[in-house]
Amino acid sequence: MYPPSFTLVRSQEQLTTLLERLLSRPTVAVDTESNSLYAYHERVCLIQFSTEEADFIVDPLAGIDLSPLGDLFANPTIQKVFHAAEQDVANLKRDFGFRFANLFDTMWAARILGWPRVGLADVLEETFGVHTDKRYQRYNWGKRPLPPEALRYASRDTHYLLPLRDLQAEALERSGRMEEAGEVFAQLAETGPASNPFGPSAFWRLKGLDDLPPRERAVLYELFLWRDREAARRDVPPFRVMGERTMRILAHLRPHTLDDLSRVRALRPKTLHRYGEAILEAIARGERRPPPEPPPSPPPPAEPVLQRYHALRAWRREVAARRGVENDVVLPNAVLWALAERNPTSLGELADVPGLGPWKRKTYGPAILEVLATSDR
């Protein structure tokens, strides 16, 4: 099930030796493990590498300087093979400021080839007969020390990527899709650094806020702010301080004493003991303040823009069905909106549309221009 062995890199000397080895290879498999389910400030906790001969795991929490790895990631002559690269690239940019060049993403290759299942566990099982141990899918990779079986699981994620990449590259070449894939890979390299999903602005992502009475919404907001501050102080995700359902119940009932709080069945005794006074203070603040004003909504698109967008969606659906791929493999929604808003009328103007690279312009450009022209009639 797992690779037979791996090398754990926890010293500067080991990292230097590893980097020399990686820089001598034309392709290197890469993956990362982070602790998003266990920390307010998510961080990369492991970086896995594989060559054709060996597997390695770098421990970013061991106090070593990882900046030399930037030479590998930015090297245009060495291909870095990921599965679902976007989050890995974003996290590595956030934590270490790395730049990227020459990526190959086996998930996107699978999508472009029209494979029905593209998750790594599914791909490895169908391609190599490798079965995934699901115990580690939600593991706390920030723990130290990590048990050997967890490290073996982590090394598996890169162990098979290079042979998988070879199979997919051959299939992409055979189907004439390599240029398309290369364009996607280049865009993945430009992914921006990851940002923290928490903070006060996340309040407005809660569902059903418009249905709450103003006072209830104000109390819920203060409970949300308190929870976020406590989560940041403890460096845990906010849901580990208090669940959204419990906050909603408290905002609805608005208890005023510890006795009232103790009768709220959704509130665990441990939470009551630890945070009872703080919860009551947050509720009191919410009862004194006006309900929060939501951020301004973007103006709705003009009717011609909406018509062009829906016409492009219908065209994209037909193209994707003919190819046997998901709709966004043809063009993502963001590009459709950009086309609908800019309404280009020539191939030259298509070059100014963000996300519409040379291959897509060459392949789909004339059809896109025809759809836009027809939808305006």
pTM above 0.85, yes or no: yes
Range of the domain at 281: 200-288
Q: Burial, 170: exposed, middle or buried (Cβ in 10 Å; 0-12, 13-18, 19+)?
A: exposed
Which of 265, 281, 264 has the alpha carbon at shortest distance from 229? 281
Q: For residue range 23-42, what is the model confidence (pLDDT) as tens digits?
A: 999 999 999 999 999 999 99
Which of 104, 106, 105, 103 has the alpha carbon at shortest distance from 123? 106
**CATH number, domain with residue 312:** 1.10.150.80
Q: What is the mean pLDDT of the chain?
A: 96
Let me know the angle formed at the C-alpha of 96 by 95 and 102, rounded to the nearest 5 degrees.
115
**Exposure b/e, 239-248, CB count within 10 A at least 16 = b:** eebbbeebbb
Q: Is residue 195 part of a domain?
A: no
Question: Of the candidates 189, 224, 254, which is a domain's last residue?
Answer: 189
How much is the pLDDT for 2? 52
**Exposure b/e, 320-351, CB count within 10 A at least 16 = b:** beeeebebebbbeeebbebbbebebeeeeebe
How much is the pLDDT for 3? 57
160 and 32 part of one domain: yes
109/151 Cα distance (integer angstroms): 27
Q: Is residue 194 part of a domain?
A: no
Tokens 């364009």 -> residue: 183
Question: Of the candidates 189, 224, 255, which is a domain's last residue?
Answer: 189
**CATH number, domain with residue 59:** 3.30.420.10
Please say if the pLDDT value at position 51 is more than 90. Answer: yes
Please say if the pLDDT value at position 215 is more than 90. Answer: yes
Q: Is residue 295 part of a domain?
A: no
Q: For residue range 230-240, what is the model confidence (pLDDT) as tens digits?
A: 999 999 999 99
48 and 128 part of one domain: yes
More confident residue, 377 or 272: 272
Let me know the angle formed at the C-alpha of 353 by 348 and 355, rounded to the nearest 5 degrees.
125
85 and 124 part of one domain: yes
Please say if the pLDDT value at position 369 is more than 90. Answer: yes
